[in-house]
Amino acid sequence: MPCPNPAMGMSRGGIVAMNSSYRDGSWPIKQETLQDTSVHEVLHTLGLGHPNYDADKDGAIESYECVATSYGNRPIMCSPNGGYATWNNVGRLTGYDINGLKALTSNATAQGLK
């Protein structure tokens, strides 16, 4: 969760809480997805949101409606379960995620945050 009432609308930290169902087996989740989810949640504390959009133009932004690379990889910040699905690239950011971090840095600089 972001810090409450951040100055200038910018969060300077946050809290990530992942309940035990992610790890105790009560909710089936592939290990690759679990690792991507961990990175996804930490990136929320930095200020990144979900890049989902109304891809099918039905008036609702739904799960999995995200941009994707030419190989079909969705940003790790896509909701739900974005990121690469292979152990070679697990937790790795896509160009879309990196561009989001660059935009956050640029916006923070423009608002005088260092």
Cβ-based neighbours of 51, under 8 Å, separated by 6 or more: 66, 67, 75, 77, 78, 96, 100
Q: What is the pTM of this model?
A: 0.76
Let me know if residue 102 belongs to a domain.
yes
Q: Does 65 fall in a domain?
A: yes
76 in any annotated domain: yes
The answer as to whether 38 is a domain residue is: no
Give the pLDDT score at 11.
52
Per-residue pLDDT, 28: 76
Q: Quick check: 51 pLDDT over 70?
A: yes
Q: Would 37 be classed as within a structural domain?
A: no
* Residue 92 in domain: yes
Mean pLDDT in residue range 92-97: 93
In the chain, the number of structural domains is: 1
What domain range is 91 assigned to? 44-114
**Residue 92 confidence (pLDDT):** 93
Which carries the bigger pLDDT value, residue 22 or residue 83? Answer: 83
pLDDT value for 111: 82
User: DSSP per residue over 65-113, as a string?
Assistant: -----TT-PPPTTSTTT-S--STTTTTPPPHHHHHHHHHHHHHHHHTT-
Q: Is 104 inside any structural domain?
A: yes
21 versus 96: the higher-pLDDT residue is: 96
